[in-house]
Each structure stands twice: as structure tokens, then as C-alpha cells.
A and B are shown apart, each in its own frame.
Chain A
Amino acid sequence: MRRLRISVDRAKCVASTLCVHTAPAVFALDATGKSSVVNPAGDTEEHILAAAEGCPVSAIVVEDADTGERLFP
């Protein structure tokens, strides 16, 4: 499994919690209710990409950590 680099744009995040439900070991809400990445290797690539796609405000970016290739969006 390739290593992923995942980031959440906190200015965009609207605290919907959808990514947390899709990939609970990867995303968690912080004290302000916004999402942040707690473990980029916490779930399958499929689930992580589904979480990124499911974000209603496109706040999640996923890249290949080694090649830098953009996987989402």
C-alpha cells in the first residue's frame, strides 16, 4: 500500500463529520469541531478517497506521499 499525504483545509471545513464517519481512524474532530488528520495510514486508500470525495466543501486533499501525485481532487 502506498503512503498517503492527506490534508484538511480548515478554513473550508464545515464540521459535517462525514469524513470521520467514512474513515474514523484517519480523521478526527478537534476541539473546535473541525476535522484533522490523526493517522494517514489508518484506513484503506479506497476509504480515504471516499472520505475526500464525500466532503461537501472539497476540504480534503489526498496525495501520494512519495511521488507527490495528486489523488484527490
Chain B
Amino acid sequence: MPVHDDLSAPEVIADPYPYFHQLRAEDPVHWNPKWGGWILTRYDDVQWAFQDRRLSADRMTPFMRGLPPHEAEELRPSFDIFSRWMVFTDPPTHTRLRMLVNKAFTPRRVEGLRSRIQAIVDELLDALSDRRQIELIRDFAYILPVTVIAELLGVPPHDRELIKRCSDEITLFIFGAIGVEDRRQRAQHALLELVAYLRGIIEARRRAPRDDLISALLAAKERDDLLSEEEIIATCVLILFGGHETTTNLISSSVLALLRHPDQMRLLRDNPQLITTAVEEFLRYDGPSKAMVRFALEDCELRGKQIRAGQRLLLVQSAANRDPEQFPDPDRLDITRQPNPHVAFGYGIHFCLGAPLARLETQIAINTILRRLPGLRLATEHLEWHPTIVSRALTALPVAF
């Protein structure tokens, strides 16, 4: 076993890949006592776990059941929202929720946003043009996705700050930041603030529909009553939340990957048409979602290990994406890699709704940065990652140009 069999050890947070390589080689279906669940690190096992219907995506019910009664009661309002997130539901509820919004996020629909995304990227970079050093996340990578997703939903641009603040707090709940006291209470406070805000927008769109996603969801509700008002709200919160943090992290980890591989940076700068395979490689190499959790509904067996009903599993996407049986030379960044069947967006029925949007935003962001900031370089050697088990997120990325 690894010296530190600990998902949240500082060295594993800083660089999780050696730990995952060791697990995959020595014990690919590993019971981790500290985390209290099975850790899956092989590509084929992770893919299996994303698909097997004996494993449930409902992480909220077991979580609530595990709380002391008074705390469960206190967190009921959060639970009422999160339990309606499609990402935490199984079929048939999942199918209904997903089918209703899927149309708005298809590759073709998203392609229609290209010129608007390019314009936002250009505006953001224009505003930085007289600077020589920036913090790429705060000054750019944070703002782009939240601006795009707010526009798509139909949330006025000046309320971006509220959304950003609330979803930072919600992150504490969902991604389980380590070492933050009162995180659930804080998250609940922010969540309810966001819900109240969205109710106002929904009311306004009901009276005067516009060409935005909230109006489309309301129309779907009117038309065939397939969606309750609470589900509309939960879905909006999910899309706002899912739609920016992760994309922010992908943009920053992509820039970092290029800064640390100057040959690949040169290759992409000279051949911007490589951006499609490049972004797939950034997702594989150091994607924003390290792992996803599932709960066993029934006993199942995997590689001779007995997984019992009620136990949880950590599907380590970062490990699957560097499985040498699937990806030749997996620790090498190769922006021309093809095929590249990474699982950075998940796999199976919960495959990321926003994947086409995240792809397009990141493609445009990276190519525009390379074109407009030719002298781009790291302005520090001290980088830190947020101490969470399931996401891979830089705290800051200072760059100079």
C-alpha cells in the first residue's frame, strides 16, 4: 500500500497522479479506511461503475441519513434542492430531468454561441491589455464561464457577483472542502439566497418570456407539466453551479499545462487548428473532475472484491485517464493525441450536460490567449490546489506577459 493512503494528504492534493498510479498497479479496487469506501483507479472499472445500474448516483439520501437528526432537520432546505439535481438522481427521474434541458446544450445549439463567447473573451482580454501581470483565474478564467452561463439562463449580467459568491459557498458543501468549519450551514445560507433570487427571475419570465433557458423551462412546464417549479429552480441552480467552477478550472489547468510544456505551447500557437484535440488532452491530462462518488444499491463483485449494498465507491477519473492500458505514455501531454476516450466528463447517463459548452469556451479561451499574449509565462513557482477530494482546482495562477 502507498505510504500515505490518504486522498487529502498535502502531497496527494498537490500531485495526485503518483498515488493513483500506485493504487492502480497494486490494488485497483482498493478499500480506503480513512475515506470509508472503495477507490477505483482502472479505466475499465471506472467506466463499468459509471454504467452499472446497481450503483446509484443518489449521494444525497445516504448523506442525509448519516447525519444526526437535528442536523438533518437543519439541512432539509438544502436537501430539498440537491435531491432534485439530475446529477444526484437515478432513472426514471433522471431521464425526465435530463431530456428537458438536453436540447439547450447540444453541440449544434452551443456552436451558435461561438461569436458571443469570442466577444466576451476579447472584452476580458482588452480590459487587461495595459497590465503586465495578472492572476489568470480571478481576472479571466473565473469571469468567462459565469458570464456565458448567466447569459444563457437569462440572468442579468450585473447579478454575476451574487451568483459567483453563492456558488463558491455551495462548492463547500458539494465538493467537501477539507478544514472549513460550518461549511454546510454557510453553503445552505448561500443556496437559499440564490434560490430566492432565481424565484424573482422566474416570476419575471413567467410574466414576460424572453429568449433564454429559464423561459424555455417555464414553457416546457406549461406545455406538458413535466417539470415542477421546484425542479425548475433546482435545475437552474445546478446549471449555474455546474456551468462555471469546472470550466474555470479547465481553462486554468490548460494554461498551466502549456506553460509547463513549452514545446506543446509552441505547437498549438503555430497550429491553432489543433485546439480541438488539445482541449481533449487537457481534460485527460489534468481535468477538473478528479473523481465521482456512487453508492452500491446491491452487493456486487469487482476483481474478486465484495462490494456490499450501502457502501460507497470513488470513481477516479484522473486515474482512469492515465491508465497505461488505455492511453500509451499516459503521463505525457500530447495535444495531438487521438483517439482520446477520456472520462473527464463522466460516462453513461450522467455524461456532462455542459460538455459541448465547456469544450467550446475552453477552445476559444486558450487560442485567444495564445494569440493575444505571446510572451505568456508563469509569474510564480508556488502553485496551490484546493484541498478537495473530487475536484482539481488551482487556487491562483499568476502569469506575466
8 Å CB interface, B335-351 against A? 339, 341, 345, 347-349, 351
Task: Name the A residues within 8 Å of B99 (CB-CB).
Answer: 18, 21-22
Contact of A53 among B108, B345, B347 (CB under 8 A): B108
> Chain A residue with minimal CB distance to B102?
A54
Contact of A18 among B102, B341, B355 (CB under 8 A): B102
Contact of A56 among B50, B95, B352 (CB under 8 A): B352
Task: Name the B residues within 8 Å of A33 (CB-CB).
Answer: 51, 348
Is B98's CB within 8 Å of the partner chain A?
A: yes
Question: Given A18-B98, A73-B108, does the pair A54, B103 have CB atoms closer than 8 Å?
Answer: yes
Q: Majority SS of interface residues in chain A? A: loop
Question: Given A33-B348, A56-B105, does the pair A15, B51 have CB atoms closer than 8 Å?
Answer: yes
Is A44's CB within 8 Å of the partner chain B?
A: no
Pair A56/B348 contact, Cβ less than 8 Å: no
Is B77's CB within 8 Å of the partner chain A?
A: no
Pair A14/B108 contact, Cβ less than 8 Å: no
* Cα(A33)–Cα(B348), bound, Å: 8
Q: Using an 8 Å CB-CB cutoff, how does the interface string of B59-101 with A read, 1 for contact, 0 for none?
A: 0000000000000000000000000000000000001001100
Question: Given A33-B51, A56-B352, A73-B108, does the pair A14, B347 have CB atoms closer than 8 Å?
Answer: yes
Is A39's CB within 8 Å of the partner chain B?
A: no
* Cα(A17)–Cα(B346), bound, Å: 13
**Nearest CB of chain A from residue B285's CB, rounded to whole Å:** 19
Q: Using an 8 Å CB-CB cutoff, how does the interface string of A26-45 with B read, 1 for contact, 0 for none?
A: 00000001000000000000
Is B22's CB within 8 Å of the partner chain A?
A: no
Is B10's CB within 8 Å of the partner chain A?
A: no
**Nearest CB of chain A from residue B81's CB, rounded to whole Å:** 24
Is A65's CB within 8 Å of the partner chain B?
A: no
Pair A11/B353 contact, Cβ less than 8 Å: no
Pair A56/B51 contact, Cβ less than 8 Å: no
Task: Name the B residues within 8 Å of A54 (CB-CB).
Answer: 102-103, 106
**Nearest CB of chain B from residue A62's CB, rounded to whole Å:** 13
Pair B51/A58 contact, Cβ less than 8 Å: no
Task: Name the B residues within 8 Å of A71 (CB-CB).
Answer: none
Pair B351/A56 contact, Cβ less than 8 Å: yes
Pair A21/B95 contact, Cβ less than 8 Å: yes
Q: Which one of B99, B102, B105, B347 has the greatest number of beta carbons of chain A within 10 Å?
A: B102
14 interchain pairs (CB within 8 A)?
A: A11-B339, A14-B345, A14-B348, A15-B50, A15-B347, A15-B348, A18-B98, A21-B99, A33-B348, A53-B106, A54-B103, A54-B106, A56-B106, A57-B351
Q: Which 4 A-B residue pairings sit nearest by Cβ, starting from the closest?
A: A16-B351, A14-B351, A33-B51, A58-B107
Interface set of B (CB-CB < 8 Å, partner A): 50-51, 95, 98-99, 102-103, 105-108, 339, 341, 345, 347-349, 351-353, 355-356
If A15-B347, A15-B349, A58-B107 are given as contacts, then 15 extra A-B residue pairs at C-beta distance below 8 Å, sorted by A number, are A14-B347, A15-B50, A16-B349, A17-B95, A17-B348, A17-B349, A21-B99, A22-B99, A33-B51, A33-B348, A53-B103, A53-B108, A54-B106, A55-B106, A56-B106
